[in-house]
Amino acid sequence: MMIQNLKSGEPFKGIFLITDWKEAAFRNKPGHYLILTCQDRSGSIGGKVWEINSQMQNWLQEFDIFEMSGQVNEFRGVSELTIETLQPIPENSIDLAELLPASPIPASDLEKRLKALIQEIKDPYLNLFMNQILNDPKIGEAYRSCPAARKIHQAYLRGLWEHSVKVAELASSLAAHYPEADRDLIIAGALLHDLGKISEYEYMRGIEVTTEGRLLGHILIGIQLVLREIDKILGFPIAYKTKLMHILASHHGRYEWQSPKRPKTVEAFIVHYADAMEAELWQFRHAKEEHPDSEWSPYMPSMERYLYLK
């Protein structure tokens, strides 16, 4: 049974990846219980084990894939699992991809849209550069598999690819209304604005921030990657190099959002707002999908508001 098909008040049985777990003390009696975060490719859900033993704790330290059964309940309006049985599953007996959520957009569709965007870039240097960096075996594979975030938006495999393509499509459409904007530069910057996330995140099991990601962040990592690849192209225009770096450095828009620079070119403004729009509208759409019968979403901390869903 997939997580997306679980319904409150019904029993469940399934194989899930445990991405996080901890012990918590009972408030009104001695003893402890377990709080788990369970995941498969359809999503994630919290769970609790009210009666634990030393064998369970040993298993959780050694394994992270389990067959579970129990009951789906609702707590404060959110579904969660009451786990009654827990049995480790050897990793070699299951395809891990079945337990990791991925973009709902097929890879073939994303690839077609990505290639169409790159073909729109008419400048020969920028076009060569984009093909070089996104067709690099290591960079290209990571770009097409990395999540876009840990939690806020597109926190699943191929999320970075999906988000970047959508941002570039939005930015390209916006550029059509501003003839002074360099559309080639906008498309290139939009496709690469989050490139550093390929080294910021480790996502073989769940999504974790790497040491490099914690120390540098994806903006600095992305700038380093792009500079390294640009330097391989003889005669690449300095102006394009500087403006592309500025788009990456300023795409968060504000210093308090960990942006080294605020946008100072029309291209950087367009990429920043296209990025923010795509990420927030994804959250809106996701809230509607998660709460199809609700008039209002739960409070959205990242957006600091409730969303009206009707």
Q: What is the pLDDT of residues 223-239, one digit of tens each?
A: 999 999 999 999 999 99
H/E segment holding residue 121: none
Structural contact between residues 73 and 83, judged by C-beta atoms closer than 8 angstroms: no
Alpha helices in the chain (DSSP H): 54-62, 107-120, 124-134, 137-143, 159-175, 183-192, 197-200, 211-230, 238-250, 266-290
Q: pLDDT of 112-121, one tens digit each?
A: 999 999 999 9
Question: Does the structure show a pLDDT above 90 at 20?
Answer: no
Outline which parts of the chain fall under CATH 2.40.50.140: 3-98
Ranking 4-8, 40-44, 235-239, 265-269 by mean pLDDT, the lowest is 40-44
Cβ–Cβ < 8 Å for 126, 185: yes
- 95, 74 contact by CB (below 8 A): no
CA–CA distance, 259 with 254 (Å, rounded to integer): 6
How confident is the prediction for the chain on average, in pLDDT? Answer: 91
DSSP H or E segment with residue 37: strand 32-40
Mean pLDDT of 258-269: 94
The CATH T-level fold of domain 3-98 is OB fold (Dihydrolipoamide Acetyltransferase, E2P) (2.40.50)
Considering the four listed CATH numbers 1.10.3210, 3.30.1050, 2.60.120, 1.25.40, the one that applies to the domain covering 102-290 is 1.10.3210
The reported pLDDT for the residue numbered 184 is: 97
Q: For residue 239, with 0-12 CB atoms within 10 Å meaning exposed, 13-18 middle and 19 or more buried, which class applies?
A: exposed
For residue 208, report the phi and psi dihedrals to the nearest 5 degrees. -125, 155
pLDDT at 126: 97
What is the percentage of the chain residues whose pLDDT exceeds 90?
A: 65
Q: Where in the chain is the domain with CATH 1.10.3210?
A: 102-290
**pLDDT confidence of residue 286:** 86
Q: Is the pLDDT of residue 180 over 80?
A: yes
Predicted confidence at residue 120, as pLDDT, reads: 96
Give pLDDT tens digits for 26-48: 988 899 999 999 988 888 899 99
Amino acid (one-letter) located at 197? K
pLDDT digits (tens, 9 = 90+) for 89-139: 887 787 776 788 888 899 999 999 999 999 999 999 999 999 999 999 999
Residue range 44-61: mean pLDDT, rounded = 89
Global confidence as pTM: 0.78
Q: What separation in angstroms does the CA of 230 have from each of 180, 196, 295?
A: 25, 15, 49
